[in-house]
Amino acid sequence: MPSLFLFGASEGGLFDFDATLPLMAVQVVLLTFILNALFFKPVGRVVEEREGYITTSRAEAKQKLAEVQKLEAELKDQLKEARQAAQKVINDAEQDSDQLYREALALATAEANASREAARKEIDSQKESAMNQLKIDAEKLGDLIVERLLAAK
């Protein structure tokens, strides 16, 4: 250990309480204040601003998500109502077309029945007329036959 004594170190053990210790303490305190003023406070401020921004952004995002969910629910309700309204319109149109079909069928059936009845009446009147004409002709023919038979005798 003779090399330690060459630099002028005094014997005092592991800790030597001379002017170096208070000077080092002052340097540490001064460095702490300087670092705090130049580095830690600005970095801390930036970190706090960033945390505030993140907190605000998260709150806004939650609010917008709630609005989106509310709008989605409203749109689903509107879509459901629109589907129900469309189904009602379709059902009403089907009922109307069915009603019109029934009315048209009833009218066509009535017209067909009336036409058939008119044709039957026309045929009956023509048949009656033909029968009357046939009776007249039969009587004339009978009279003619009787006259010829009487004249031939």
- Domain boundaries defined on the chain: 18-152
Answer for the pair 25, 18: CB distance below 8 angstroms, yes or no: no
**pLDDT the model gives residue 4:** 44
d(CA 109, CA 32): 109
Q: How far is CA 19 from the centre of its chain?
A: 84
Within 10 angstroms of residue 50's Cβ, the number of other Cβ atoms is 10
* pLDDT above 90 (res 44): no
* pLDDT above 90 (res 136): yes
Residue with tokens 């917008």: 64
d(CA 72, CA 58): 20
* pLDDT above 60 (res 152): yes
**pLDDT the model gives residue 14:** 59
Q: Comparing 128 with 42, which gets the higher pLDDT?
A: 128
Answer for the pair 17, 10: CB distance below 8 angstroms, yes or no: no
Q: Please report, rounded to a whole number, the percentage of residues in the chain having pLDDT higher than 90.
A: 64
For 4-21, what is each residue's pLDDT tens digit? 444 455 555 556 667 777
